[in-house]
Amino acid sequence: MSQYNLIDNPNSSNRPPVINVGIIGWLRHNLFSSWTNTVLTVVAAGIIYSLFPPLFQWAILDADWSGVSRESCTGKGACWVFIKTWFWHLIFGLYPVDERWRVVLAFGILIVASIPLFIPWFKYKALVGVFLLIGFPVLAYFLFVGDILGMPLVETPLWGGLFLTLVIAGCGIVLSLPLGILLALARRSSMPVLRGLSVAFIELWRGVPLITVLFMASVMFPLFLPEGVNFDKLLRALIAVTLFSAAYMAEVVRGGLQAIPRGQYEAAQSVGLSYWRMMTFVILPQALKHVIPGIVNSFIALFKDTTLVAIIGLFDFLGMLQVARSDPDWLGFAPEGYVFGGLVFWIFCFGMSRYSQYLEKEFRTESQ
C-alpha cells in the first residue's frame, strides 16, 4: 500500500528509509557505498589514526612551552622553548635590538596602507596603490638602512630572518611584474630584434635552476663591474631573484595577452590610440585580469624560492633556522625548528593562494 501513499495522503509521515538520509545516509553514500570504498575508508582511517594522534601528542600534549634553556625540555614532546628563545632572531636576524622599531614601523605602515584596498567602498584605491608601489619602497629603504635623520646605519649583512625573506620577496614581486610585462610585450611585438632578445632572455632564465643563477650572481657579478666597484651581497641576490622571476612572469603575462581577441587591438588602433596608450588602457588591464591566478602563483613560487638565498650565505628566515639549529646550546631540535618554519611559510603561501581565489571570484562577478 505504501507506494500509493503519495497520492492517497500527501501529508503522510512516511519518510525515506533511515539508511538513506542523515548521518547514516551520508556515511553510506560517501564512505561505504561499495566494498572497495569500504576498504579505502578503512585504509584512510588507518593512515589518519597512525599519523595525527602521535603528531598532536608530540606538538601539543607532551610539548614543553615554558622555560629559558634546554633544561626546561623533558624531551618527551616538542621543545617550543627553543623557538621561543630564538623567536626574535628568526624574525629580525641580527638587526640591532634598539633599531628593530624601524622594521616594525615600516611593516606597520605597509599593513595600515593596504587596509583600504580591502574596503569595497573606498574610492582612492589607485592613489593608495601608487603610494604602496612607489612611495613605500623609498620610505622603507631609508627606514631599513638608516644613516639619515639621526637613525644609525644598519648594514645589510645584519639584516636577516623573516624580515629579510619579506624584503627579498617584496622587492622581487614589485620589480619582476613590470619587467615581466615589458618582456612579454617584447615577445609579442612584431619587431624581430626585440622578439629575439626577449625570447633568448626568457628561455635562458627559465631553463636554468635558480641556484645556478644565485651562484652566478655571487661569483660573476663582481667580475662584471669595473675594478674597485663592489656591491652588496643582498643587492646581488635581489637582482638574480628579480631577473629569474621576471622571466616566469613574462610567460604568465604572455598567456594573458594571447587571450585578448584581435578585435580589441584593432578597435584601440582605430580610435587612434598609440601603442603605449593602447597597451595601458585597453589590452593590459584585460590581459592582467585574465592571469591573476598565474601571477599570484608566480608570487608564491618566488616567495618559496627566496629560501635559496640561504645557500649563498644570506641569513633569511630559513638561514636563521639553520643558525638556530646548529647553535651548540640547542643541538637536536631540528624537527621543532623546521615544523615551525614550515608553518610560517605555509601561512603566507596558503594565504596568498586563498587571496588569489578571492580576487578571481571578485573579477568574475564584475564582468558578468
**Three-state DSSP state, 228:** coil
**Three-state DSSP state, 64:** strand
Distance CA 329, CA 332 (A): 9
Q: Is 220 in the site for other proteins (CB under 8 A)?
A: yes
- Minimum CB–partner distance for residue 90 and other proteins (Å): 13
- Choose the stretch contacting other proteins; rule: CB under 8 A; options: 5-13, 57-65, 343-351, 360-368: 343-351
User: Cα-flanking dihedrals φ and ψ of residue 333, to 5°?
Assistant: -110, 30
Q: Is 91 in the site for other proteins (CB under 8 A)?
A: no
DSSP letter at 38?
A: H
- Minimum CB–partner distance for residue 211 and other proteins (Å): 5
What value does the CA radius of gyration of the chain take, rounded to a whole number of Å? 28
Q: Which of residues 145-204 bind other proteins (CB under 8 A)?
A: 190-194, 197, 203-204
Q: Which of 294, 322, 295, 319 is nearest to 306 (CA)?
A: 319
Q: Which residues, in sequence order, are bridge partners of residue 159?
A: 93
* Position among 61, 153, 225, 235 found at the interface with other proteins (CB under 8 A): 225
Q: Which of residues 9-48 bind other proteins (CB under 8 A)?
A: 30-31, 33, 37, 40-41, 43-45, 47-48
Q: Which residue has the cell 597597451?
A: 279
Angle (nearest 5°) at CA 326 between 324 and 331: 95
| 163 vs 345 by CB, closer to other proteins | 345
Which three cell numbers mark 274?
598609440
- Choose the stretch contacting other proteins; rule: CB under 8 A; options: 3-11, 137-145, 149-157, 211-219: 211-219
* Position among 147, 285, 342, 362 found at the interface with other proteins (CB under 8 A): 342
**Three-state DSSP state, 86:** helix
Could you tell me if 179 and 249 are in contact, meaning their C-beta atoms sit under 8 angstroms apart?
yes
Site string for other proteins, 287-326 (x = CB under 8 A): -------------x---xx-xx-xx------x--xx--x-
* Position among 93, 172, 294, 341 found at the interface with other proteins (CB under 8 A): 341
- Give the DSSP H or E segment for 143: helix 136-145
- Minimum CB–partner distance for residue 138 and other proteins (Å): 26
| 5 vs 189 by CB, closer to other proteins | 189
Whole-angstrom CA distances from 90 to 17, 238, 318 are 58, 20, 8
Distance CA 83, CA 333 (A): 9
Q: Is 226 in the site for other proteins (CB under 8 A)?
A: yes
The footprint of other proteins (CB under 8 A) covers 30-31, 33, 37, 40-41, 43-45, 47-48, 190-194, 197, 203-204, 206-212, 215-216, 219-220, 222-227, 300, 304-305, 307-308, 310-311, 318, 321-322, 325, 332, 334-335, 337-339, 341-342, 345-346, 349-350, 353
